Amino acid sequence: MGSSYIEKRIVKAGIDLCKRRIDQKGTPITADDLRSLKVRTISPPLQWFYVVIGLAFTVFGIWTHTELRNMAISFTPVLVGCFNIGYAIHGRPKKVSQMESEVDLMELSADIVSRFVAEMDAKRARKS
């Protein structure tokens, strides 16, 4: 399980939720907690593409400003570049409940539990 990047991000967010709940004195995790998680749904290659395009627009805007000394003209590409970079970093978050038809939550929750238990067992083995 966890073959697509969205499933991997859901599993990672679920493990982080388990760790937070352990820190909160073992507060129980319900199915609604898993459904309310938000994960980024933009693919990693597309994120890199938006960052590169954003950097290109930003550099072009800075170059335009150095050549023309006109802030009104150079501000637009810099702003578009910054928005692209921000969009790539933010990653179009979506709640897991909105993706229930695309992913199998039962298998994902079993994967989250098994990976979390394996991680906790490894941590206990290192301590002893």
The sign one gets for the Cα dihedral 98, 102, 107, 108 is negative
Question: In this predicted model, what pLDDT tens digit does every residue of 20-76 receive, in sequence order?
Answer: 988 888 788 888 888 999 999 898 999 999 999 999 999 999 999 999 999 989 999
Share of the chain above pLDDT 70, in %: 98
Mean pLDDT of 79-100: 93
Looking at the predicted structure, is the pLDDT value of residue 88 above 50? yes
Residue 108 has pLDDT above 70, yes or no: yes
Identify the sign of the CA torsion 26, 28, 31, 33.
Answer: negative
With 0.75 as the threshold, say if the pTM is over it: yes
Rounded to whole angstroms, how far apart are CA atoms 20 and 49? 33
| Model pLDDT, residue 3 | 61
> CB of 51 within 8 A of CB of 81?
no
Show Cβ contacts of residue 62 under 8 Å, excluding neighbours closer than 6 positions: 74, 78
User: How far is residue 44's CA from residue 18's CA, in Å, rounded to a whole number?
Assistant: 25
